[in-house]
């Protein structure tokens, strides 16, 4: 059965290629740091199951040490120049978007089809991972299609991928690291501890205070962790279930939906949500790397206030 190991293999090979190309890039004075960083990240995908908890922990520390020591730099990949890109854009026009549009189409088709494919009565693809596997295969198909349509060198896709990763740098790893941190917090009982504190400080007869504590807690914890999905089980188990739902009888569907939206308000305010807030600034090469957060802050704060009011008004039946 095809499962996540295939996705890990493809990702590991891609980052290993980034490491090799970085090592060969003599125009980058930090090529050794780049090669070590992407090489270790590739190792986590290719051999993470064999390294054990201690090995993976040491690997994560090594990645943090390389990035923290400022050993990452932007390479000079051998690919098309800005002038070449303008020429190609004029030649191909809207056809340039075809490979990008192929990806969502194939992901949708694969998500639906893979769940029904069987071989000798057993699923051909792990039904629980059908979407992720479809995404990996769709990206591979789109890369090959772009090579065929635009007749670029075979290495151009990997070189462009390396250029983007060099621009983003260590922030590209934050979603994966923070998701793991959320799982660690859940296993460590952080939610229970937060719940006990919330019960102590929240007035026993104030429904609004419990709602505000949950919504604000979701936003603040998301700011700290960079991921609303990681904050959700901690804050919902600690505050929403015992207080908003258990004590005051809130509708679980409404409470959880608005609570998650409150977490997304925190996403708009934190640099730890790098894929949303730092990556765009890096790709656009903005002088202020926090420009995206500054632009989003008023909307996030206003929406958080609205969420508190909505939950208090909609989650409790008369």
pLDDT tens profile 242-259 = 889 988 999 999 999 999
265: Cβ contacts below 8 Å, ≥ 6 apart? 219, 222, 300, 301, 303, 304, 307
Is pTM beyond 0.95 here? no
Residue 78 φ then ψ, to 5°: -85, 90
pLDDT-based confidence at 9, cuts 50/70/90? very high
Which residues on adjacent β-strands are paired with residue 2?
A: 125
Q: What are the residue ranges spanned by the domains of the chain?
A: 4-168, 189-314
pLDDT for residue 49 is more than 90: no
pLDDT above 90 covers a percentage of the chain that reads 36
Residue with tokens 């690919």, as numbered in its chain: 79
Taking residues 123-140, report their average pLDDT.
88
């Amino acid at each position: 059965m095809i499962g996540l190991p295939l996705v890990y293999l493809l990702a590991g090979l891609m980052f290993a290629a980034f490491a090799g190309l970085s090592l060969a890039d003599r125009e980058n004075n930090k090529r050794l740091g780049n090669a070590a960083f992407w090489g270790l990240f590739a190792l986590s995908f290719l051999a993470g199951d064999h390294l054990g908890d201690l090995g993976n922990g040491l690997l994560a520390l090594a990645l943090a040490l390389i990035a923290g020591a400022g050993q990452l730099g932007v390479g000079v990949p051998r690919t098309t120049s800005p002038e070449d890109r303008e020429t190609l854009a004029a030649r191909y026009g809207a056809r340039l978007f075809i490979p990008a549009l192929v990806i969502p189409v194939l992901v949708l088709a694969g998500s639906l089809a893979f769940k029904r494919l069987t071989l000798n009565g057993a699923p051909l693809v792990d039904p629980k991972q059908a979407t992720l596997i479809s995404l990996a295969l769709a990206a591979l198909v789109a890369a090959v299609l772009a090579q065929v349509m635009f007749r670029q060198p075979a290495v151009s896709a990997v070189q462009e991928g390396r250029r983007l990763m060099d621009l983003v740098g260590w922030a590209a790893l934050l979603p994966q690291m923070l998701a793991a941190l959320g799982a660690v917090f859940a296993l460590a009982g952080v939610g229970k501890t937060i719940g006990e504190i919330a019960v102590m400080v929240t007035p026993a007869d104030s429904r609004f205070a419990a709602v505000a504590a949950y919504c604000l807690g979701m936003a603040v914890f998301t700011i700290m962790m960079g991921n609303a999905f990681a904050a959700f089980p901690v804050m919902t188990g600690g505050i929403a279930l015992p207080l908003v739902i258990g004590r005051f009888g809130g509708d679980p569907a409404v409470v959880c939906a608005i609570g998650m939206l409150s977490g997304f308000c925190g996403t708009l305010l934190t640099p730890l949500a790098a894929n949303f807030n730092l990556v765009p600034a890096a790709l656009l090469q903005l002088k202020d790397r926090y420009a995206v957060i500054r632009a989003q802050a008023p909307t996030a704060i206003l929406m958080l206030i609205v969420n508190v009011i909505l939950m208090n008004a909609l989650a409790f039946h008369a």
